[in-house]
Structure 1
Amino acid sequence: MSALELAQSLIKIQSISPNDAGCFEIIKSELSPLEFNIEKIKILNSETLIAKFGDQGKVFCYLGHTDVVPAGPIEEWSSHPFEAKIVNDQLIGRGAADMKGSVAAFIEATKNFLSSNPNPDFQIWVILTSNEEGEPGDGKIDSFMQNLSKEGQIIDYCLVGEASSSINVGDVLRIGRRGSLSGNLKLIGKQGHIAYPNKVLSPILEIGPIISELKEMIWDNGNEHFDPTSFQISNIDSGTGASNVVPGHLNMQFNFRFSPESSYESLKEKFIDMLKNSACKYEI
């Protein structure tokens, strides 16, 4: 298959994290004829594919993933997210950029390279996970990489195919990514009838000033390679469903994307300090 055909084949598979759903088998069929040694490893609810070409010299590794985030309401897409249609010379579908298109492009590049360089003086590895986008509890690639290190298997050079361009494909080469720190906050107030404000403690009202402070907070200034640390809220859930009852608790999911100028310990400490002024109890 060409890179385009391969990308379309992968996009048509609804590989929602942590499920590969068959992408690895297609990739395996492309790499096996090139004499790659291929292994699939189960990690909790996810899978990792590792394909190796050669056994001498330094290791050049392509690192990526086959899973995608949910497509959301299909009716809000101008083109079906899993039909991989070409519209105005653009491939449209969930994962076209992040990152099934990248996987297909790398495999095509590998084919072309090995056709003219059948005996390179280095090893080529392809490592793919089915759970880059999903929850850590379903199994991440970290444990697999740690096992490689324990076995003394060293990756000398690594190219990660994440969608990192600014304007045009390939116009930026990044040396890394900011860290990701996700959390769940539960504010615990006191439930009661809305007509008796002195007998209730609304976590919804309490979260307002906290969110305002979080929005204005400058966590750090970043550096020449990485943008400053950012904070975002992904979900807030509260309420009993009744219009006359103050809820007793509120749940908020949030995420930091942090630069090397901050650590998860320092961010956690600052976050907790902001909660200390709330009348509500809290759990993180």
Structure 2
Amino acid sequence: MTDAARPDLPRPNLPVDPVALTAGLIRCPSVTPVEGGALRLLEELLSGAGFDCTRVDRNGVPNLFARWGAKGAARSFGFNGHTDVVPVGDAAAWSRDPFGGEIVGAEIWGRGATDMKSGVAAFAAAACDFVRQTPPDGAVILTITGDEEGPGKDGTAALLDWMAREGEAMAVCLVGEPTCPEVLGDMMKIGRRGSMTAFFTVQGVQGHSAYPHRAKNPLHALVSLLGRLTAEPLDGGTEHFDASTLQVTTIDCGNPANNVIPAKAAATVNIRFNDAQSSASLTERLRAEAARVEAETGVTVEMRVEVSGESFLTPPGDFVRLVAAAVEAETGLAPVLSTSGGTSDARFVKDHCPVVEFGLVGKTMHQVDERVELAQIHALKAVYARILREYFA
């Protein structure tokens, strides 16, 4: 981060401008897992507001832990977010410098403007102002990672591991990911579907397509297996979740000849599942179908599974109602309590404490010309500030 990119840090007792902070963060080229100066900027800001800051880097991945208040406080409110961003893609396709943090009219442009440097700026600004103006009886904790857009193994997971060793704890946590489909305030997340991927490799016997009796076609077996897996719905959904889904994402055999039965074929399926399922039960189901195909066709089916996260739900209760009420008070909208979308770092936080997610409208995240309205950033800070006031009231 150059001196030119660094925003002026607020003077004592003056509110933190979340737009200026967003601009400063965007100007830090923090493509996963490069830190790019973003966490250093936040550490300077938070330290100046009285937060105790600790870098919790693991395996080259940058992370920041910041706490205002006493360690082990009975009441401790946590925010979680990330400063890493996805690559810009074709920089020439951008209308503005993707790391310029330019304000054009009523919007700020740049990679991470939506996902989620503005969200981090909003909760950091709200937290700094809150502890300065109305020091709470308790602790405010910020956990910020540089590895949400990447593998995730050494990001929020590393912060939570470190917290467990050090005796640090959040009573509740709000993740500031973009959650609103159309208008700020229209949706918050109270859970997420689980995600897992299964990789199938089918070994048959190569042969001439004119003499199929001398071969074992792995593609036929693979098509049969995929047909079984997609023939029936996994379930019909649950009270807070839509139905689980299974999608075939690749089928490959690498065969350039039209008269050769290949020896091997592979396919990948991705499953997004609700709380009626688990990765273990789904893996058992996949293995059972693979075994049936093996028995019927004489091929060998190997399967490897990667689990990104289990489904989870923070049941509607005091914490969910507090956040929803604050959102409605500031935006005029009662947010839909949703479990839709992909995975987020809330999948790690849910093992530590109750967690919900609320953030900006995510229409341009990961796109060329990513940008967000300035008014949304200010409004989001106001929502987070109200949540803090109500929690510690």
| Equivalent position amino acid for 2:244 in 1 | T
Query: How far apart, CA to CA, are the structure 2 residues paired with 1:233 and 1:71?
Result: 28
Q: Which moved more, 1:206-215 or 1:59-68?
A: 206-215
Query: How far apart, CA to CA, are the structure 2 residues paired with 1:58 and 1:21?
Result: 33
Contact 2:246 2:270 in 1 (8 A): yes
Offset, 1:234: 4.6
Other-structure match for 1:52: 67
Other-structure match for 1:99: 116
| Equivalent position amino acid for 1:106 in 2 | F
| Equivalent position amino acid for 2:176 in 1 | G
Q: How is 1:103-142 mapped onto 2 (pairs within 5 angstroms)?
A: 103-117=120-134, 119-135=135-151, 139-142=154-157
Offset, 1:85: 4.9
| 1:158 partnered with 2:173 | yes
| 1:67 partnered with 2:67 | no
* Cα displacement string for residues 191-250 of structure 1 (whole angstroms, at most 9, x for unaligned residues): 456665444445444433433444444222332322232233455544156666554334
Query: How far apart, CA to CA, are the structure 1 residues paired with 2:266 and 2:260?
Result: 17
Offset, 1:15: 3.1
Other-structure match for 1:224: 239
Contact 1:57 1:121 in 2 (8 A): no
Report the TM-score, using the length of structure 2 for normalisation: 0.61
Query: How far apart, CA to CA, are the structure 1 residues paired with 2:277 and 2:118?
Result: 32
| Equivalent position amino acid for 1:262 in 2 | Q
* Cα displacement string for residues 145-194 of structure 1 (whole angstroms, at most 9, x for unaligned residues): 24433544331110011222232123223222222223433233344566
| 1:281 partnered with 2:300 | yes
Unmatched 5+ residue regions in structure 2?
1-6, 8-16, 305-393
Secondary structure of the residue that 2:276 maps to in structure 1? coil
Query: How far apart, CA to CA, are the structure 2 residues paired with 1:183 and 1:19?
Result: 30
Contact 2:65 2:159 in 1 (8 A): no
Query: How far apart, CA to CA, are the structure 2 residues paired with 1:281 and 1:84?
Result: 54
CA gap of 1:90–1:214, structure 2 versus 1, over 3 A, is: farther
Secondary structure of the residue that 1:42 maps to in structure 2? coil
Larger RCO (alpha carbons 8 Å, 6+ apart): 2
Offset, 1:16: 3.4
CA gap of 1:193–1:224, structure 2 versus 1, over 3 A, is: same
Contact 2:199 2:267 in 1 (8 A): yes
Query: How far apart, CA to CA, are the structure 1 residues paired with 2:262 and 2:101?
Result: 44
| Equivalent position amino acid for 2:146 in 1 | S
Root-mean-square deviation (CA, aligned residues, Å) is: 3.2
| Equivalent position amino acid for 2:136 in 1 | P
Contact 1:239 1:246 in 2 (8 A): no
Query: How far apart, CA to CA, are the structure 1 residues paired with 2:30 and 2:213?
Result: 51
Other-structure match for 1:28: 43
Report the TM-score, using the length of structure 1 for normalisation: 0.81
Identical counterparts, % of pairs = 33
CA gap of 1:128–1:231, structure 2 versus 1, over 3 A, is: farther
Contact 2:143 2:156 in 1 (8 A): no
Query: How far apart, CA to CA, are the structure 1 residues paired with 2:115 and 2:76?
Result: 24
Q: How is 1:76-91 mapped onto 2 (pairs within 5 angstroms)?
A: 81-85=98-102, 89-91=106-108
Contact 2:56 2:158 in 1 (8 A): no
| Equivalent position amino acid for 2:237 in 1 | G
Contact 2:68 2:131 in 1 (8 A): no
Unmatched 5+ residue regions in structure 1?
none
